[in-house]
């Protein structure tokens, strides 16, 4: 049953749930209404029975008991127009003595005998019973009191008075009410199911639109699809989330395509140069025409340089791709930024022995991937070394989580500063120098993933200042990196 329910469409399940909820509510209301009406009708019958109760005249009582001693009268024995009420006297042994104007005889039960014997005290007792013909009646049984005229009233021992009214009209009313409530409930449940289906269709229409959009994207890979989102309900939030997702996917795909195009363009130059130089060397071998030693040496040096440039470019692309995939966070740990900067300085001094590199590094601990962070600092220092004239000085300072690298090179024009961290972007004045245009992009990505920021700005007196800011602390962390809060 549950499997069949789960296999139904969502709108059908909603309609069934609405119908079931309405059916439960209608059933509860109908039953409550029926019992309330039943109680009111029974109360009315009991009020009539109490009103009919009065002391029995002694003369009539003697007549009734006298006839009862001879035989038990049946309905119709005392006149052609019997009363609506059943009235009879019950003896302690259960013998009924029917009044002449009684509508008939009511079957006696054990409780009636107890009242006649005087075992049950009180003002009377109500019960349901049947008459001699099997009709349902409402019975009031109470002690018998005789009206002795001027002599007053007296309790008749070992006798009880039984007054009853037929329940035929009451039961007919209750049956009619039950039928009406059943019909109304059925109509209400069917109407609720139809209304629930209509509401489900209307409410799920945005979901249908979203489903069609998702299927369209899956079928055509068209990420320009947008769904109108109005309001602040769950459907609108879902639509906005879908639009944000498709925008992010479209942007990611555009960046990926741009990366592939830029990488292809950058790879083409060293590959073309390599192919040309290698073809010259191969042709020299095939034709037997030797290349002059100095030219051959220059060709081999060019091949080596192009291979190194190609290897560096491929390494930068791998590093950038790895950073984009978010893998750095998996290897992040608390590291000493001053130690990493000192190691990067050692490598930078080897690459620029003709330069003077000063360093003032104060302790600072950050959460990052050590290898990626060192590469980022090395890239900044490489740029400073590359653009500094021979004999110049490069100042490196680490204080309070701010690492600054100041060179004395030609500087960066103001109109080029917004583009320095773009992938494959290279200043027109630096296109003749080696490099792929990915170094600063890798720096920006690494620093950003470490929770910091990096900027380039003109330095006073010429040159450029690269500033890297990373959150952390000046003291070594206790225990392990896992014990430190995120963003330490």
The tens digit of pLDDT for each residue in 309-321 reads: 677 667 666 666 6
Is the same domain home to 143 and 282?
no
Q: Tell me whether residue 448 is in a domain.
A: yes
Q: Of 227, 207, 202, 230, which is closest to residue 217 (Cα–Cα)? A: 227
| This prediction's pTM | 0.46
Give the ranges where 288-438 is alpha helix by DSSP (H).
293-324, 337-351, 370-387
**In contact, 64 and 97? CB cutoff 8 Å:** yes
Is the same domain home to 384 and 470?
yes
Is the same domain home to 246 and 184?
no
Is the same domain home to 438 and 339?
yes
Is the same domain home to 477 and 330?
yes
Choosing from 290, 322, 354, the residue where a domain stops is 322
CATH of the domain at 434: 3.30.565.10
Q: β-pairing, 393-399 with 356-361?
A: parallel
Average pLDDT value for the chain: 79
Please provide the size of the chain in residues. Answer: 488
At residue 487, the pLDDT reads 47
Q: Tell me whether residue 42 is in a domain.
A: no
What is the total count of domains within the chain?
4
User: Is 72 a residue whose pLDDT tops 60?
Assistant: no
User: Is 7 a residue whose pLDDT tops 90?
Assistant: no
What tens digit of pLDDT does each residue of 400-414 get?
889 999 998 888 887
Lowest mean pLDDT among 222-231, 351-360, 457-466, 473-482: 473-482
Q: What percentage of residues in the chain have a pLDDT greater than 70?
A: 79
Region of 152 (left: φ > 0; alpha: ψ -120 to 50; beta: rest) is: left
When pLDDT is cut at 50, 70 and 90, the band that residue 360 belongs to is very high
Q: Which residues lie below 8 Å from residue 132, measured CB to CB, with a gap of 6+?
A: 74, 75, 104, 105, 106, 107
Q: Which residues lie below 8 Å from residue 314, measured CB to CB, with a gap of 6+?
A: none
Is the same domain home to 178 and 150?
no
Mean predicted confidence (pLDDT) in 161-178: 91
When pLDDT is cut at 50, 70 and 90, the band that residue 212 belongs to is confident
Q: What residues make up the domain containing 70? A: 56-166
User: Is 480 a residue whose pLDDT tops 60?
Assistant: no
CATH of the domain at 104: 3.30.450
What whole-number distance in Å separates Cα of residue 254 and Cα of residue 423?
A: 13
Is the same domain home to 453 and 351?
yes
Residue of higher predicted confidence among 55 and 188? 188
Q: What percentage of residues in the chain have a pLDDT greater than 90?
A: 17
Is the same domain home to 384 and 469?
yes
Is the same domain home to 417 and 479?
yes
Structure tokens at 119: 């075992």
Place of tokens 């329910």: 5
What tens digit of pLDDT does each residue of 215-263 get?
887 888 777 777 777 777 777 787 788 888 888 888 777 767 766 766 6
Residue of higher predicted confidence among 194 and 174? 174
Is the same domain home to 336 and 477?
yes
What whole-number distance in Å separates Cα of residue 119 and Cα of residue 157?
A: 11
Is the same domain home to 380 and 306?
no
Q: Tell me whether residue 45 is in a domain.
A: no
CATH of the domain at 257: 1.10.287.130
What whole-number distance in Å separates Cα of residue 113 and Cα of residue 3?
A: 60
Q: Tell me whether residue 260 is in a domain.
A: yes
Q: Tell me whether residue 43 is in a domain.
A: no
Choosing from 278, 306, 322, the residue where a domain stops is 322
Choosing from 214, 242, 274, the residue where a domain stops is 214
Structure tokens at 400: 């309070």
Q: Tell me whether residue 227 is in a domain.
A: no
Is the same domain home to 332 and 472?
yes
């Amino acid at each position: 049953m549950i499997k069949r329910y789960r296999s139904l469409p969502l709108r059908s399940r909603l309609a069934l749930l609405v119908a079931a909820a309405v059916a439960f509510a209608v059933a509860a209301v109908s039953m409550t209404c029926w019992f309330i009406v039943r109680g009111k009708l029974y109360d009315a019958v009991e009020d009539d029975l109490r009103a009919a109760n009065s002391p029995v005249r002694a003369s009539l009582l003697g007549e009734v008991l006298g006839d009862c001693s001879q035989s038990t009268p049946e309905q119709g024995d005392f006149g052609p127009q019997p009363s609506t009420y059943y009235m009879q006297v019950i003896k302690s042994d259960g013998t009924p003595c029917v009044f002449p104007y009684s509508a008939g005889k009511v079957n006696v039960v054990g409780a009636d005998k107890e009242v006649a014997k005087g075992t049950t005290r009180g003002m009377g007792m109500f019960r349901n019973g049947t008459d001699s013909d099997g009709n349902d009646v409402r019975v009031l049984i109470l002690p018998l009191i005789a009206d002795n005229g001027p002599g007053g009233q007296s309790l008749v021992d070992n006798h009880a008075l039984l007054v009853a009214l037929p329940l035929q009209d009451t039961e007919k009313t209750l049956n009619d009410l039950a039928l009406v409530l059943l019909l109304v409930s059925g109509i209400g449940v069917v109407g609720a199911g139809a209304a629930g289906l209509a509401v489900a269709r209307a409410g799920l229409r945005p979901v249908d639109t979203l489903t069609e959009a998702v299927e369209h994207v899956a079928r055509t890979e068209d990420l320009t699809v947008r769904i109108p989102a109005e309001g602040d309900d769950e459907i609108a939030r879902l639509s906005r989330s879908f639009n944000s997702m498709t925008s992010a996917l479209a942007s990611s795909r555009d960046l990926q395509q741009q990366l592939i195009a830029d990488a292809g363009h950058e790879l083409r130059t060293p590959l073309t140069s390599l192919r040309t130089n290698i073809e010259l060397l191969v042709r020299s071998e095939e034709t037997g025409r030797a290349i002059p030693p100095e030219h051959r040496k220059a060709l081999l040096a060019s091949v080596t340089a192009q291979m190194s440039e190609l290897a560096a470019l491929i390494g930068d692309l791998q590093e950038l791709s790895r950073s984009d995939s978010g893998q750095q966070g998996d290897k992040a740990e608390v590291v000493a930024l001053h130690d990493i900067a000192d190691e990067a300085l050692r490598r930078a001094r080897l690459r620029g022995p003709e330069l003077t590199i000063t360093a003032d590094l104060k302790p600072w601990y950050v959460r990052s991937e050590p290898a990626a962070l060192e590469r980022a600092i090395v890239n900044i220092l490489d740029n400073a070394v590359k653009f500094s004239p021979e004999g110049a000085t490069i100042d490196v300072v680490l204080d309070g989580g701010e690492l600054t690298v100041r060179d004395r090179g030609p500087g960066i024009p103001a109109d080029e500063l917004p583009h320095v961290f773009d992938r494959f972007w290279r200043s027109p004045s630096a296109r003749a120098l080696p490099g792929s245009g990915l170094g600063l992009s890798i720096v920006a990505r690494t620093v950003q993933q470490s929770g910091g920021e990096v900027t380039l700005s003109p330095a006073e007196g010429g040159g450029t200042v690269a500033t890297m800011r990373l959150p952390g602390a000046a003291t070594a962390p206790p225990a392990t990196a896992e014990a430190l809060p995120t963003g330490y």
